[in-house]
């Protein structure tokens, strides 16, 4: 990483975009305080890190990484959807530390409101498809009511139906958090609610700001080192498309 300066303010929803290996996921993990910069500092909620206790601040951050759900399945093969959401809510497994009735009711309501009818609270997450697992993982991340949501490639390797279902759930989610940062590989995966973008190239930020200022044919071509033409469809909502020139 080289001289990364990026400020995310309350009410802003960002996308980090760029080719493989440009540093998108590394930035996300530094924002979540899972990794530290070798130089400089990370400032979150008015506090600089390193320099303050990490745990309390991490409680205000929801981090979505697809490997999380696979790790849960590997360690707890019989884990249910309800248990997964409760784990995100209080950090403990109900089978070891019983959840309160209030927590169970809130987790159950989240599941019924956000997941398809066939995904009942007592269904094992090991039996779910990749898209269904990610929808449960998103609830897991939201269960603690985070102020700041970070998502690392949530749509990667999903089929069209699974991607659309997760997109709809994510669109509702972004209205519930104060700010968010999303990493994607493909420009057509940028959700309509995203307000800001940062284009990365070889560990540096080429351009950052409002989507309409950053996501231009010239900037995207520089980031990916290939001539591209970017087009924007604005009805019924903003959607990006690219083609080779």
Does the pLDDT at position 237 exceed 70?
no
Calpha distance 52→143 (Å, rounded): 25
> Which pLDDT value is given to residue 1?
74
- E strands, 69-135, where? none
Domains of the chain in sequence order = 1-60+178-245 (3.40.50.300)
The strand pairing partners of 204, in sequence order, are: 201
Tell me the per-residue pLDDT of 51-62, one tens digit each, with 9 for 90 and over: 888 988 998 999
Does the pLDDT at position 95 exceed 90?
no
- Residues 6 or more apart whose Cβ sits within 8 Å of residue 163: 131, 155, 189
For residue 185, CA distances in Å to 109, 132, 137 come to: 33, 21, 20
Average per-residue pLDDT for the chain: 92
Calpha distance 181→203 (Å, rounded): 17
Calpha distance 240→244 (Å, rounded): 14
Q: What is the pTM of this model?
A: 0.91
Tell me the per-residue pLDDT of 101-126, one tens digit each, with 9 for 90 and over: 999 999 999 999 999 999 999 999 99
Does the pLDDT at position 236 exceed 70?
no
> Which pLDDT value is given to residue 94?
75
Q: What length does the chain have?
A: 245
Cα radius of gyration rounded to whole Å, the chain? 19
Among 43-52, 62-71, 78-87, 175-184, the minimum mean pLDDT is found in 43-52
DSSP structure class, residue 127: G
Beta strand 42-44 pairing with 204-210: unpaired
* Inter-residue contact 29 to 42 (CB < 8 Å): no
> Which pLDDT value is given to residue 235?
60
CA 92-154-208 angle, 5° bins: 115
204, two tokens: 């540096």
238, two tokens: 């903003």
- Residues 6 or more apart whose Cβ sits within 8 Å of residue 136: 69, 81, 84, 85, 115, 119, 125, 128
């Amino acid at each position: 990483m080289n001289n990364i300066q990026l400020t995310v303010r309350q009410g802003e929803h960002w996308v980090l975009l760029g080719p493989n290996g440009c540093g998108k996921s590394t930035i996300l993990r530094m924002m979540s305080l899972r990794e530290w910069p070798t130089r400089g500092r990370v400032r979150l909620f008015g506090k600089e890190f390193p320099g303050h206790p990490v745990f309390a601040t991490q409680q205000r951050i929801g981090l979505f990484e697809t490997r999380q759900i696979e790790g849960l399945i590997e360690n707890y093969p019989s884990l249910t959807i309800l248990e997964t959401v409760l784990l995100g809510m209080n950090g403990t497994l109900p089978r070891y530390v019983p959840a309160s009735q209030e927590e169970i009711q809130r987790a159950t309501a989240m599941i019924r409101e956000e997941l398809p009818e066939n995904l009942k609270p007592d269904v094992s997450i090991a039996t779910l498809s990749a898209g269904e697992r990610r929808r449960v993982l998103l609830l897991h991340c939201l269960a603690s009511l985070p102020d700041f949501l970070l998502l690392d490639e949530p749509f990667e390797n999903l089929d069209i139906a699974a991607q659309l279902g997760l997109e709809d759930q994510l669109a509702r989610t972004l209205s519930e958090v104060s700010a968010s940062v999303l990493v994607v590989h493909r420009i057509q995966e940028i959700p309509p609610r995203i307000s800001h973008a940062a284009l990365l190239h070889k560990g540096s930020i080429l351009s950052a700001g409002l989507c309409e200022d950053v996501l231009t044919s010239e900037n995207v071509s520089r980031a990916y080192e290939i001539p591209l033409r970017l087009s924007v469809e604005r009805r019924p909502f903003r959607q990006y498309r690219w083609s080779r020139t």
